Amino acid sequence: MLDDLCKVSPLGVGGFGRVQEKNNTSKTYALKMLNKQHIVAMGDQDQVMNEKDIMLELKSDFIVRLYKTFKDDDYLYLLMEPCLGGELWTLINEEKGLSHKAAKFYTACVTEALIFMHSKGIIHRDLKLENVLIDSRGYAKLIDFGFAKKVGPGTKAKTMCGTAQYNAPEMILNKGHDTAADIWSLGVIVFAMLSGSSLFADKDDDDIKTFENILAGIDVVFFPTEIKKIAEDFIRKLCRNNPTKRLTAQEIPKHGWFENFRWKAIRKKTMKPPFIPKITSPVDTRNFDVDHLPEEKKYPSTTNVSSWDPDF
């Protein structure tokens, strides 16, 4: 089937490789290409296999779907559902922040993804604006499970990973983390949607200073006037320093910020999205910055690059 696909356009570059838009005569896909030399050089074989297994398990309308995997001598391939509306990050930057109505819509989409994931003991661990894509209808879907981890009841993950400005304090302090780390990251996302700015990021993008801001806690953060008090309360309850005191994904719909919000309409996808992306064809990539993607890095030859992936 891989030979039947025609390249349309690159869509993005991630830690291990590139995402390209592909199509055949009947359908368009996103193809994530993972460079084997890079994976082996970084010692990330287990992480890649884990990403595939988790994505195959996560069948939700609010999580991008993995259809099939392939491999050859140089790459691993994940054939996925395309979301051609672009990143939520791009939308927020273009709009300089969103209305409360729009922010609730996207928060609800992400919450539905988290409710499903967390019920299976899966932590995303890199929840951020860039990992929320808009589909052709205007609904948001969670992507990129490269750092995702499945944990059993009462157990915690230990690895420090993700993106600095979204990291929960317990991850920074290496205390172990669970699904509550995703809830913290969601709070950072909601603040960004409503204010157009980052909750904890250092102005010079210094990760150490960002971590210091995070560890200082939500209580010292000043909230701009455009964020209503009920939304501020919501964000503060997502970003409590004690992870056991944060709202859970299941509790989010009950918060006052979502009073009279039609959750059933979100789940059935009958609610009208706040923004409908401009997409004129199944191969339209206008919502991605495809002209400024970096060149793929070259890695030194590594022997036995395929001995670890027979089950991919």
Q: Which residues are catalytic?
A: 126
What region, left, alpha or beta, does residue 129 occupy, with left being phi > 0 and alpha being psi -120 to 50 degrees?
A: alpha
Residue 17's DSSP bridge partners are: 34
Instruction: Decide: 49 and 40 in contact? Cβ < 8 Å.
Output: no
Q: Of 35, 36, 11, which Cα lies nearest the Cα of 21?
A: 11
Burial class (CB in 10 A: 0-12, 13-18, 19+), 152: exposed
Rounded-to-integer distance, Cα 183 and Cα 204, Å: 25
Those residues with Cβ within 8 angstroms of residue 190's Cβ, 6 or more apart along the chain or in another chain:
103, 107, 231, 234, 235, 238
Instruction: Decide: 138 and 276 in contact? Cβ < 8 Å.
Output: yes
Length of the chain counted residue by residue: 312
Rounded-to-integer distance, Cα 38 and Cα 300, Å: 9
How many distinct helices (H) and strands (E) make up the chain? 9, 9
CA dihedral 166, 131, 244, 237 (to 10 degrees): 70
Rounded-to-integer distance, Cα 150 and Cα 145, Å: 11
Instruction: Decide: 132 and 142 in contact? Cβ < 8 Å.
Output: yes
